[in-house]
Structure formats: C-alpha cells, structure tokens
Chains A and B, each alone.
Chain A
C-alpha cells in the first residue's frame, strides 16, 4: 500500500514538475521564464481596469480611453517583430510593456522588475487560445542600417508618395490624408493616422530600426499594412529615414511635396 502511494505520489510529483517546466518554458525573455500565476496577481493590480478581467479591453476605464485598450483575446498586437497576422514574440510583448505605447493610456511599466514584466507577458498570453495553438514565426531580422543622407531622405520622400503613404498620413506627413477621416481599427473604432510632424514619439519605438520594423511588419489591428512584399530593405531604410526626418523636423513640412490637386472628375 505504501509503495502504491509512493508511486502515485511520485507520478503526481513528476507530472507537476513536468507541467511546471512546460509552463515556465512557454514564456521566456532572455534568461527569465514567465510565471502566469504571479502575472495574474500583477495584472489585477496594474492592468485590469483598462484591459478588463477577461483581457478583452473592456475594463472600467476603457470607455474613457482613446485609443481603446488592447483586446488580448484577439491576440492581435500592433508592436511586433513578426510578420503581419502572426503572433508576437514574447520579447515583443515584453518590450511593449516596458516601453509603453506613446500617445495612448498605456504607460511604460519599466518601474516593475524584469521578472514581473515577464510574468505579465505569461499571463497576457493566457487570454487567447492562439498562444496555445500556434507558435509565432521567427522575428524580423533587421539588416544593418545604411547611413542617413539627403539622398536617402529624398528617395524616401519619393517612396512616401509612390507607395501611397500620403493617402492616410497626408502629403506633409501630418496625418491628414484624404482617407484619414474614414479609417477604423479592427474593432471598428475610429483611428487617426500618425502625424509624423507632431514630434510625438512613435507607438512602437522611435529608433530607425523601430520604423523599419513597423514598415515591414505593419501594425496589426490598424489600417497600417505590412510593406514587406512591396519594399526592398534598402527602400524601407530610405522611407524610415524620411519619416524620421519629418519627426525631427530635419525635413520641414513645407519642403515635403505639396498636397496634390484633386483629379478632375470624369465627365
């Protein structure tokens, strides 16, 4: 009898240890493994009033926030290094928590310990079954950045026009293109294209690498598509340099191409 109990206990212990190990491996950022149980406690302290008890973005404060809090149940995230439509990497979620999302209600949670932030990632992933069913594909490898130059910025300005970025962001990058007023996000909330000239930091990081990544992966859940199939890396860098020049004021909006005259309507 004692042997049976011992065997059963050992099996249970083995199962417990195995499953704990599996959970710990599910979320990993660097050398830190995520603990979803602890992440839940943190979520209830810091996140629940915006993102809601079920992670669906319907917390008590949600009605008053613009843009709306992320709906984790959809597993659709703006700031990713993975291709459009793919799940984000753990590091993508960790970076978003650490950095915050500028010009939104989401602050930087860098004052939390790194372990706490990884635990939050682990818990956030429990809201969508996609994280159990799918694996994120490999993240984008960002090639070395060529030096910024007036020529690079000029090429980027041309791409800004030819790729129709201006339709949403406006000819001068002020976020007032002809499509701007009709844009909605994936939950049908109105959404405003980014005004590059406002000086506001970009939502997913403001380095040139961040802009390059956003161009190549798109911002899922928003009308901003991925240009991975349409732009060569060197073109994406040119465009990134131009956007950064708009942001920093190196290119004055007046120097940017003027708004095109509306086409004459067909008779």
Chain B
C-alpha cells in the first residue's frame, strides 16, 4: 500500500514537472507586425493561434513575398525581437492528495484531502527574435527565462523557396514539429488546460525516451506548400533525444511527417484535413560504467509510433479543431525492460496501445474577443502489463475560457484571459481508488511587445 502511494506521489511529481515544462507561454510575434505594419489579427485568428494568412507567412519563412522581406529594406534601428509575459492569478486544486492524518506526523497514516493553492504568478518570459537573414533565409531563436532557470526553446535556420519553389524549404535546428494543431500557439494558459495531453502522453509504466510530439525537437525538416497554403506537407528527421540539446542518447533517428489539405466550402470558409505520423525507436538499455549508463550508447532500440488525423472546420464565426491519435509502444518500452533481458517481461506483457483526441471550439465574436471550449481524452486500449488496471493512465479534461484583446495593433498586443479547466486522471490508484481530479482557474494578462 505504501509503495503504491509513493509511486503515485512520484507520478504526480512527474506529471507536475511535465506540466511545468510543457506549459510555456506560447507566442505571437509583434516584431513582424512592426516590420510590416500589420495588426496581430492579420496573422492570428486570435493570437497566438494562426489563421491561414499567418500560416502562409510562416510557411514562406516569415516573408510576405512583396519584395520587402529582406532586412535591407528595414530601418537599421529595427531589431526583430519580442517578448511575452503572462502575469496571472490562478488557483490550483487537487481533490485526492494523500496527506498525513496529523500534519507533520509521518506515522499518523495517510488520508485523502483536497489541496488548494492560489496566488499571483508570472510563469516566465518568452523572448523571441526571428525573421529573415536575407531573402529566403529565415531564422528563429527563442530563449526562455523561468523562475527555475533559463533554457533554449527553439533555435533554427531555414532555407526558403529552394530552387525558387515553395514546395522545397529546408530547416535545421531545434524547432516545433509541424504539429496538426500547434501546441506552441494554443490559446489556453492554465496549468491543466494549457496543453494538449495527447501530445505528451506516455502510458503508465512506460520508459520510452520519446514523450510526445508536443516537445520541440532537434533535427532537420523539409517542407513545402502551395501558393495559398491550401496544400502543405512536412517531413522531419529528428534525434531520438526528445528535444534535449546535446547529442542523442542512442544511434537511431525518428521520422515525423505531416500532410494536410484545405478546401473552401461556400458560405462557411476554409476547411482543412490532415494526417500525421511519428515513427521512431528508443533505447532500452545502455553501455555502462560501473553500472552507470554512458550517454550516447543507448542500444536495444525498440520501435514506437503515433499516427492520427485531424481537421480544422470553419462555420462562419465558429471554428472547430478535431484531433485523433493512436499510439503504440514496443513491449520492452512499455514494460521498461531492457531488450537484452526478455525474461524480465511480465507474463502476458504486450506493447501498450491507446487512442486519444480532442475537440477545441472557438467563437470568434470579433478580432478582439474569442470564446474557447476544449474537450480532450486519452483512453488506454491495451496496457503493457496485464497487472495494470485497464483504465490506468486514462485522461479526461475540459477547458472553457475567453481571451479579450483591448490592445491589438501593429506594435503590441495585450489580452485579458480567464479560464477554468478540469482534468480527471485515472493514474495510479488513489487511497480511495477513485480518479485524481485537478481543477484550475486562471485570470490575468497576456501581453507581448
């Protein structure tokens, strides 16, 4: 019993850490608005979420294609830099936290309790410099400063329109995968509602190095698109180190591909459908030195994949994003067993599989006000170990909120945000055997300049 509680606490810590890492403020880039004199709303349905014009601009290598893109056309004083900060007040509540019956007395036994914390907060500062080094050479550098330290979120350079073709662009560095729905540009900020869980999902007991397509990855990407961006593709080869800078843990590389096609529906607007896949291998053991793994020597690679389909549907002022994912990990990854020790696999062990998806709806009242609703779930279809509870790992979460933009101009943007989010997580059993429930409420400002 005590081991289970300790495991649960560990899992919660991991989940919390993953959330802390994952919930970076996403970005809009007023540096581009300043460069071109366009307002946020030109590129963003509501910043930071891109509309098709903004996506085209991004896919063109942050170029409008009006022969004014190269830095030579800018005033020498122009420096393409922006920052984004989100000062908020938020309240986090967890309904089933194991606490000592007598506070401070470890031997008094554990009981379940609701733990609530609230306060003013500033998650961190996003700094972005991006643009063009020359015509058809673009770049992006994004350090991130948080209370816990600083890090490099993205850094890449891209050759655009290679051979004068929009169908061939080449990017290298650390970047966001061409995700079906951009995690970096999600409209929600709260601790529980600010991420797409499907993008970061790992089954219980799994030790796959890769934790999801939501992580920014190190690699190289080839991409292309039609003039109006209705047809898009991308293919990226990425290191199997889950985005951590430095050389990868093993010798294998992973492959991410994405293809989508948009079409017009009279009276409704632009619709888009797409498919994607992430196929890779992850090491299951390492060469060691006195028992300690040596970085870069990962071996016993075993495969995994994530595949899915998605759509963006516009119905006048309403739009919906739908996303589906099927995931599968090799049995050794799913059971955290080295591939050279198959006898350690538990009886009946199999590769874990799961399905997940979300629907996110927006009502675009006008360029300054957007209402947001999101529902997401992940359901395990096959546990790696028959001893694991069938629904362990399942997630069920929803978020509602709005963003109001009192300031939106070609220089800066300011949003007032309110969100409420709730997640039900069938993780390792709680003391009562019921699902974990987290509630999150957030209100505050989100601004960039």
Q: Are B53 and A60 in contact (CB under 8 A)?
A: no
Q: Are A100 and B65 in contact (CB under 8 A)?
A: yes
Interface size class of A (residues with CB under 8 A): 20 to 34
The A-contacting residues of B in range 28-75, CB under 8 angstroms, are 36-39, 41-42, 52-53, 55-56, 64-68
- B residues within 8 A CB of A101? 66
> Per DSSP, are chain A's interface residues mostly helix, strand or loop, or mixed?
loop
Decide yes or no: A200 and B67 within 8 Å by CB, A45-B367, A111-B229 being known contacts: yes
Partner of A49, one of B39, B56, B66: B39
- A residues within 8 A CB of B270? 113
Q: Are B68 and A105 in contact (CB under 8 A)?
A: yes
Partner of A112, one of B53, B64, B227: B53
The B-contacting residues of A in range 76-132, CB under 8 angstroms, are 100-116
Q: Distance in Å from the Cβ of A112 to the closest Cβ of chain B? A: 7
Q: Are B228 and A60 in contact (CB under 8 A)?
A: no
Q: Are A49 and B67 in contact (CB under 8 A)?
A: no
Decide yes or no: A65 and B37 within 8 Å by CB, A46-B53, A110-B228 being known contacts: yes
Any A CB within 8 A of the CB of B280: no
- A residues within 8 A CB of B67? 102-103, 200-201
Partner of A115, one of B37, B267, B366: B267
Decide yes or no: A50 and B37 within 8 Å by CB, A44-B367, A111-B228 being known contacts: yes
Any B CB within 8 A of the CB of A228: no
- A residues within 8 A CB of B39? 45, 48-49
Any A CB within 8 A of the CB of B266: yes
Partner of A109, one of B36, B37, B53, B266: B53
Partner of A106, one of B55, B66, B366: B66
Q: Mark interface residues in B215-233 (1 if CB within 8 Å of A CB, else 0).
A: 0000000000001110000
Q: Distance in Å from the Cβ of A201 to the closest Cβ of chain B? A: 7
How far apart sit A108 and B36, CA to CA, in the bound complex (Å)? 13
- A residues within 8 A CB of B382? none
How far apart sit A50 and B227, CA to CA, in the bound complex (Å)? 24
Any A CB within 8 A of the CB of B410: yes
Any A CB within 8 A of the CB of B12: no
Q: Are A100 and B53 in contact (CB under 8 A)?
A: no
Any B CB within 8 A of the CB of A41: yes
How far apart sit A201 and B67, CA to CA, in the bound complex (Å)? 8
Decide yes or no: A102 and B410 within 8 Å by CB, A44-B367, A46-B42 being known contacts: no
Decide yes or no: A103 and B68 within 8 Å by CB, A49-B39, A111-B229, A114-B264 being known contacts: yes
The B-contacting residues of A in range 35-50, CB under 8 angstroms, are 41, 44-46, 48-50
Q: Are A100 and B42 in contact (CB under 8 A)?
A: no
Any A CB within 8 A of the CB of B409: yes
Q: Are A46 and B66 in contact (CB under 8 A)?
A: no
The A-contacting residues of B in range 274-310, CB under 8 angstroms, are none
Any B CB within 8 A of the CB of A148: no
Any A CB within 8 A of the CB of B269: yes
Q: Are B66 and A45 in contact (CB under 8 A)?
A: no
Any B CB within 8 A of the CB of A61: yes
Decide yes or no: A111 and B42 within 8 Å by CB, A103-B67, A105-B66 being known contacts: no
Q: Distance in Å from the Cβ of A123 to the closest Cβ of chain B? A: 15
Q: Are B66 and A108 in contact (CB under 8 A)?
A: yes
Q: Are A60 and B266 in contact (CB under 8 A)?
A: no
- Nearest B residue (CB) for A65: B37
Q: Mark interface residues in B432-447 (1 if CB within 8 Å of A CB, else 0).
A: 0000000000000000
- A residues within 8 A CB of B228? 110-111
How far apart sit A103 and B64, CA to CA, in the bound complex (Å)? 11
Q: Are A102 and B66 in contact (CB under 8 A)?
A: yes
Q: Are A61 and B37 in contact (CB under 8 A)?
A: yes
- A residues within 8 A CB of B68? 103-105
How far apart sit A65 and B52, CA to CA, in the bound complex (Å)? 24
How far apart sit A11 and B411, CA to CA, in the bound complex (Å)? 50
Q: Distance in Å from the Cβ of B306 to the closest Cβ of chain A? A: 29
Decide yes or no: A60 and B66 within 8 Å by CB, A49-B39, A105-B37 being known contacts: no
Q: Distance in Å from the Cβ of B46 to the closest Cβ of chain A? A: 11
Q: Mark interface residues in B350-376 (1 if CB within 8 Å of A CB, else 0).
A: 000000000000000011000000000
How far apart sit A200 and B67, CA to CA, in the bound complex (Å)? 7
- Nearest A residue (CB) for B63: A107
- B residues within 8 A CB of A45? 39, 41-42, 367
Q: Distance in Å from the Cβ of A193 to the closest Cβ of chain B? A: 16
Q: Distance in Å from the Cβ of B65 to the closest Cβ of chain A? A: 6
Q: Are B64 and A107 in contact (CB under 8 A)?
A: yes
- B residues within 8 A CB of A48? 39
How far apart sit A48 and B269, CA to CA, in the bound complex (Å)? 21
How far apart sit A114 and B268, CA to CA, in the bound complex (Å)? 12
Decide yes or no: A64 and B53 within 8 Å by CB, A100-B65, A110-B227, A115-B264 being known contacts: no
How far apart sit A70 and B68, CA to CA, in the bound complex (Å)? 18
- Nearest B residue (CB) for A199: B67
Q: Distance in Å from the Cβ of B68 to the closest Cβ of chain A? A: 7
Q: Mark interface residues in A50-85 (1 if CB within 8 Å of B CB, else 0).
A: 100000000011101100000000000000000000
- Nearest B residue (CB) for A104: B66
Q: Are A113 and B410 in contact (CB under 8 A)?
A: no
- A residues within 8 A CB of B229? 111
14 A/B residue pairs, CB under 8 Å, sorted by A:
A44-B367, A45-B367, A46-B53, A48-B39, A49-B42, A61-B38, A100-B65, A103-B66, A104-B68, A108-B65, A110-B56, A113-B269, A115-B266, A115-B267
Q: When A and B form their complex, which 9 residue pairs have the shortest distance between CB atoms, in order from nearest?
A: A61-B37, A107-B64, A111-B56, A111-B52, A110-B228, A111-B53, A49-B39, A45-B41, A113-B264
Q: Which residues of B contact A (CB under 8 A)?
A: 36-39, 41-42, 52-53, 55-56, 64-68, 227-229, 264, 266-267, 269-270, 366-367, 409-410
Q: Which residues of A contact B (CB under 8 A)?
A: 41, 44-46, 48-50, 60-62, 64-65, 100-116, 200-201
Additional A-B contacts beyond A49-B42, A107-B36, A111-B55 (5; CB < 8 A): A49-B37, A50-B37, A100-B65, A103-B68, A115-B266
